[in-house]
Amino acid sequence: MRSGKGAMCTPVLQFTNCRILRGQKLLREDLWVRGGRILDPERLFFEERLVADEQRDCGGCILAPGFIDVQINGGFGVDFSQATEDVGSGVALVARRLLPHGVTSFCPTLVTSPPEVYHKVLPQIPVKSGGPHGAGVLGVHLEGPFISREKRGAHPEAHLRSFEANAFHDVLATYGPLDNVRIVTLAPELDRSHEVIQALTARGICVSLGHSVANLRAAEEAVQSGATFITHLFNAMLPFHHRDPGIVGLLTSDRLPPGRHIFYGMISDGMHTNPAALRIAHRAHPQGLVLVTDAVPALGLGNGRHTLGQQEVEVDGLTAYVAGTKTLSGSIAPMDVCIRHFLQATGCSIESALEAASLHPAQLLGLEKRKGTLDFGADAGQGLMWGIPGSLKTQEFLGGLGQGKGGQMDGTFPVPRRPYLATSLALSHQARLSGI
């Protein structure tokens, strides 16, 4: 038998003594990686007649896909809704700082802003692959300005918009080119919203329903037009009512198109959603739950005043408010903390919690063949999580074969240090997560 390096000029790495998250189960199998892809070991052995160039003993840890955050407004002092001259450097900083929290792909999110902000910012946030430099960018999430005034939450009322006679033209005039856009959140009760939903989905853009006073009928019609996501369920929408459950009713609706799967975001930070509400949603529709942080630029900075687009935000302890009010303004919890709280609040399995932050968002974006999974042929160039009782360790997927020193991180908002390289994987920063 030959080594993979000699045969393919690309080394093969074998992870042993681990449990792999695959197909909603933890399997005691080895994981084989080459050139940024997960390998089928049977084909490697019997067809290519190869063995691993390097083996790594995982010590019984869990290997799972890297997390995907589809709603994050910024972090570590970077505000994605601020029209600076160098937006890209801020996105890169956030991408780098997200890796220690297990996030290997994300959708930078812009809150309601004036058109000139979109026109300047959006061209500066292209889709970008992840790696040692940081998490990958999957496309921008535009939350607003086509939302309800009544349920605007922390969005500035002065910049809210509705759809005029030529609805999609209004969208283009507001945002500019949509090349870098992956998700748009809008209120489905707005006139001509279905025309916009159809136009966006025809361009491959995911439409999410949120910041809305829509009843269930309007929400169902939006899904029939192509909407597939709900922005932060329970927050900034009509509360559940037994005669008309509103957007929340989509979780169990029987009027969705055949084969249509509705996904919904949940902010599991211990502030936005009561544990009982988390349990209700998870038990009603576990396959559609997508954990999001909705993190604001104050993530990692502590108490004080910060920005969120056109608004000023005040952080007090674990909560962010629009300054001078008691209106919640996003979260300051990173994804690993949200997963821990979700596990504790719902009592769900580790498999379910990890898939809510990896497989489900990948399915939402149609990326489940490459991301959010450890199936053969999937990406191994972004990140893994090692889970052991009492902790999670972030795996950064890097190119090349080498060695370095790992970085130990303590506290809630650690600063990454030098990674430990290994073929297309790197064992690095430890972030304590009790409860797993």
Catalytic residue numbers, as ranges: 294
Residues 6+ apart with CB under 8 A from 276: none
Nearest to 386 by CA among 20, 24, 32: 20
Distance CA 101, CA 412 (A): 9
Residues 6+ apart with CB under 8 A from 283: none
End-to-end CA distance of the chain: 40
User: Which DSSP category does 92 fall into?
Assistant: H
Report the b/e string of 209-238 with b at 16+ CB within 10 A: bbbbbbbbebbbbbbebbbbbbbbbbbbbb
Backbone angles phi, psi at 176, to 5 degrees: 85, -160
Tokens found for residue 307: 């920005």
- Report the DSSP pairing between strands 12-16 and 54-57: parallel
Separation between Cα atoms, residue 281 and residue 261, nearest integer Å: 15
